[in-house]
Structure 1
Amino acid sequence: MIPVAFDYLRASSVDEAVAALAGAGEDAKILAGGQSLLPVLRLRLSAPSLLVDLGGVPELRGVREEGDSLVIGAMTTHDEVSTSPLVRQFAPLLATMAATIGDRQVRHRGTLGGSLSHADPAADMPAAAAAVEARYVLAGPNGRRVVPASDFAVDLFTTALGDDEVLVEVQVPKLEGWGSHYEKFHRMVQAWAIVGVAAMVRRDDGAIASARVTLTNMGPTALRATALEQALAGCAADRAAIEQACAVAAEGTSPRDDLTASAEYRRHLVQVLAGRAVAAAAGV
């Protein structure tokens, strides 16, 4: 199908993009990599009056160090995240996960900020960002503000971004001494995750001292598996103990029934994937 007619602006700065969004109100959409937006436009599920393209804003791209954090521009592609030496060193979970998104073409066009802002519950990046406790920098008419990853996605395809705001960058604390892994189940390489599990583990004397576990497609947003994190604290770092702890992985979740899987199957699957992800992150 052909999208409805709309005006187009290729912004050259964040300020220009924000001003355009403020002038258009709810009728404007931001174009990042376009991997999610363009299909929606073609199906006429969205009919914006203005499309603001961020592809011409150089400050929104790249990875740099700032003190104890990495700063990743919102327009940095999944391929750039997966191959960045800085991300591989200080936030390997993001690099590993980004390398599993879609196929090579999608990874070279899709962007970090686009994925996070779209807030698809089946997307991989929101869970990984929540696991590393990232912070999102949003720019609007009144300046910039920082939103923790845990507060950014508020519901299905809904975020804390205002209609006149742009996600500028993602701040990721440098993480050392943690093992990490992302495990997902999907029908084919290009398909969305039926269920995904991001795990981070810090070990101490053969036991799990601390764990962070986040879940993909087990609710309207990426979810923190708090019951599982509590069960893993002090758990022996061996497969049997980890698998036993992962029996609570589905607690507090609200998976849906759809054409790819039932809610019951997702609850079973998340236990299996959590066991694999935590064991790999713990190095056992």
Structure 2
Amino acid sequence: MKAAAFTYARATSVVNALELLAAHGDKAKVLSGGQSLMPAMNLRLVSPDIVVDIGGLTELRGIAVSGDVLAIGALTRHVDLLRSPEVAAHAPLLRDAVAHVAHPAIRNRGTVGGSLAHADPASEIPACMAALDATIVVRGPGGERRIATAEFFRGIYETALSPQDLLVAVELPLSGEGARFFFQEYARRHGDYAIVGLAARALVGGGQFTDLRLGFFAVGDRPLLADAARKLINVSVTPALLAETAAALAEELDPEEDQQASPAMRRHLATVLMRRCVAALLERPELETGGAW
């Protein structure tokens, strides 16, 4: 199949893009990298009257450290995250995750903003942003506003963006001393959509977690920042405590059944990833299997 007929407009600036979105409302779609939008249009899953191409807006590209924030422009490509020394230094979780996003051809075109705006619950980047406590920067008719990740994702392919809004950047707090990161996913083949995945950021001191953020994906209708992680903060983690936390996590999850996995399988795999994550971050391999000290 091919896309239904549509009008194409190439934005010349962010202001121009916002004018086009204001004029056409929910009949418009924003085109950045096109790796999600174009397949959806070709399958007639979406049929916009007009496509607003923002791909030429260099002002929305780039990665920079400003004060205590790592800022990433919405049109920054996945491959740019892999190559960025700033990301390697301050948000290596993104570098690790992007290596699992589809294949090189997709990573060369796909953008950070496009991934976030698409809001696929099986996508790696949204879960990373939840784990990293990111802020989404949006411009609209009322000016610029900042939205916490927890408030930005609202359901399957649903976000806090209105039809007149444009996602322009992401801001990440710089990692503090003792920060550690973990990323792993289960997929049938490398590059396939994840069956279950986990992106985590932790602060470790004295052999304990002083902070722990577990961002799961492909386990519900949006990335999930697990409440169960609180059980592991500022305590000595034992196999018994980890088993209790795994049970709490399984209760917290509400995964869907699809052709890849049942809800029970996803819950099980999520708890396995949590055990691996905790063992790796604390550098205590015996915790992965619940073994003795």
Smaller-chain TM-score bracket: over 0.9
Following superposition, the deviation at residue 281 of structure 1 comes to: 2.8
Following superposition, the deviation at residue 150 of structure 1 comes to: 0.8
Structure 2 letter corresponding to 1:208: F
CA offsets 1:230-262 (integer angstroms, 9 cap, x no match): 221134367786466334322322100000000
CA RMSD of aligned residues (A): 1.5
C-alpha contact (below 8 Å) 1:202/1:282 kept by paired residues? no
C-alpha contact (below 8 Å) 2:208/2:282 kept by paired residues? no
C-alpha contact (below 8 Å) 1:29/1:51 kept by paired residues? yes
Following superposition, the deviation at residue 35 of structure 1 comes to: 1.1
Structure 1, unmatched stretches of 5+, are none
Q: Partners in 1 of 2:71 and 2:171 — Cα distance?
A: 5
Tell me the equivalent position of 2:8: 8
C-alpha contact (below 8 Å) 2:100/2:191 kept by paired residues? no
Tell me the equivalent position of 2:289: none
Q: TM-score of the superposition, structure 2-length normalised? A: 0.92
Tell me the equivalent position of 1:275: 275
Tell me the equivalent position of 1:217: 218
Following superposition, the deviation at residue 279 of structure 1 comes to: 2.3
Residue correspondence of structure 1 range 87-98 to structure 2 within 5 A = 87-98=87-98
C-alpha contact (below 8 Å) 2:207/2:282 kept by paired residues? no
Report the secondary structure of 2:251's partner residue: coil
Tell me the equivalent position of 1:208: 209
Tell me the equivalent position of 2:179: 178
Following superposition, the deviation at residue 54 of structure 1 comes to: 1.1
Tell me the equivalent position of 2:129: 129
Structure 2, unmatched stretches of 5+, are 285-293
Q: Would the alpha carbon gap of residues 76 and 283 (structure 1) be closer, same or farther in structure 2, given more than 3 Å must change?
A: farther
Structure 1 letter corresponding to 2:188: R
Tell me the equivalent position of 2:104: 104
Tell me the equivalent position of 2:44: 44
Q: Partners in 2 of 1:12 and 1:99 — Cα distance?
A: 32
Q: Partners in 2 of 1:37 and 1:118 — Cα distance?
A: 8
Q: Partners in 2 of 1:59 and 1:51 — Cα distance?
A: 20
C-alpha contact (below 8 Å) 1:94/1:128 kept by paired residues? yes
Following superposition, the deviation at residue 8 of structure 1 comes to: 0.6
Count the aligned residue pairs. 283
Q: Partners in 2 of 1:65 and 1:170 — Cα distance?
A: 12
Q: Kindly, what percent of the aligned residue pairs are identical?
A: 40
Residue correspondence of structure 1 range 153-172 to structure 2 within 5 A = 153-172=153-172
C-alpha contact (below 8 Å) 1:153/1:160 kept by paired residues? yes
